[in-house]
Amino acid sequence: MQDDQQDGGREGQPRGGDAFLRPVAASYTGIMAFMAVASEGSFAKAGDRLGIGRSAVSRNVQKLEAYLGTRLFLRSTRLTRLTSEGQRFLDNCQQGVTHIQQAIDDMLELRRGPPRGPLRIVSSVAFGRAMVAPLLDPFQRRYPGIVLDLRLDDDCADFVAQRIDVCFRHGRLEDSSIIARQLVSTRMVLCAAPAYVAQFGMPQSPDELAEHRCINARGANGRLVEWEFRMVDRIHRVLPEASLVFNDSGLALDAVLDGRGMAQLPCYQVADHIASGHLKVVMADYLPDPVVHYICYPSRQHLPARIRVFIDFIAEHIPRAAFQLPIE
């Protein structure tokens, strides 16, 4: 191969893309044998400690010395002693072992102690503001060691590239590699302010929308979002001519409350306004099918405690009443 021709060198040295992995793989058993001999002061005792024969210990140490190009031990029939280079190598190896042990202890402590560490969360803008953000404070009071990082974004999240721990999604999930736990289901609701209804009336069917001031939403892909209505035997989709267009449902809700038009919005954004009389449901007989909201995470296997307790907390405390229309 071309890489082999360009990256030649003396025999035994790593080449090409193996420059990092091969030295570690080649010398790992030698390092273990070397440290056992240094600790026990004997190749035979080192073999007993490692559960292998004296000759195997000797071969592994010799391979390590050949790789390093350095003699690590002075040997005689009765004595095995570290060279000055061997002592230096041992000191460095012991530092590495200490770091590895600390890393292992830290991982075990994470599982034994209270959950802690950073937690990166992604949610759509509307759902994150209305449902997720209000639960962060009570969650953090219960788990003060967890550092929360919430990002609101209507684009589809990439768990690996963005190092996401938990993501909130809704509707049909195309990515079969993620684990999705169903939280709640809700509907999109066409609504208008009483002042708007008093001035322009209320449409009785989707065919009458052309006569009204409609407020549209622009999705993450930049396209206008169609309105959906449940007919007797099918879903009817409409993209009405808009008087206003927003890429933020909060701004659309403000415009509807001001009487500037009607919009189809998530139930959790408008349920309280409907209950208080500040908004009216338009064409309640044509409400679309419910949409499922999920809390998603990359894998069930070895799930860190900080992620597990967050998922359980959200599932327990999400305000399900906000997803039910007062008219249902």
Q: What is the pLDDT along the chain (328 residues), one digit of tens a residue?
A: 334 333 444 444 444 445 444 555 546 788 888 988 988 888 999 889 888 899 999 999 999 888 888 899 888 777 888 898 989 988 888 888 777 777 776 676 666 778 888 999 999 888 999 999 999 999 999 999 999 999 998 777 677 667 889 999 887 666 667 888 999 888 899 999 999 999 999 999 998 998 999 999 887 777 888 999 998 888 899 998 888 999 888 899 999 999 999 999 999 999 999 999 999 999 999 999 888 899 998 876 778 888 999 999 999 999 888 788 776 5
Q: What share of the chain is helix, strand, coil (3-state, %, to 5)?
A: 45, 20, 35
Supply the pLDDT for residue 23. Answer: 52
Say if CB 144 and CB 173 are below 8 A apart.
no
3.40.190.290, 1.10.620.20, 2.160.10.10, 3.20.20.370: which CATH number matches 188-289? 3.40.190.290
Quote the pLDDT of residue 174: 65
Domain 2-97 coded CATH 3.30.830.10? no
Q: Are 295 and 166 in contact (CB under 8 A)?
A: yes
For CA atoms 240, 244, 248, 252, give the dihedral sign: negative
- The CA radius of gyration of the chain, in Å to the nearest whole number, is 32
DSSP, res 226: P
The two domains 2-97 and 117-183+299-318 share their CATH topology (first three levels equal): no
Q: Which pLDDT does position 328 carry in this prediction?
A: 54
Joined together, the tokens standing for residue 139 give: 């969650």
CATH number of 117-183+299-318: 3.40.190.10
Beta strands 214-217 and 242-246: pairing type? parallel
Position 2 scores a pLDDT of 37
Domain range summary for the chain, segments of one domain joined by +: 2-97, 117-183+299-318, 188-289
From residue 3, alpha-carbon distances to 6, 11, 12, 109, 160 in Å are 5, 16, 16, 44, 30
Q: Which residues are registered as beta bridge partners of 227?
A: 238
CB 107 within 8 A of CB 290: no
Specify the pLDDT at position 266.
92
Predicted local confidence at residue 6, as pLDDT: 39
Full-model pTM = 0.65
Query: Strand order of the sheet with strand 291-297?
Result: 146-152, 117-123, 166-170, 291-297, 179-186
Contact 254/246 with Cβ under 8 angstroms? no
pLDDT score for 176: 65
- pLDDT the model gives residue 204: 92
The CB-side HSE value for 305 (13 A sphere, CA atoms) comes to 14
Provide the pLDDT for residue 105: 67
Question: Per DSSP, which regions of the chain are E strands?
Answer: 73-75, 80-82, 117-123, 146-152, 166-170, 179-186, 188-192, 214-217, 227-230, 235-238, 242-246, 263-266, 280-281, 291-297
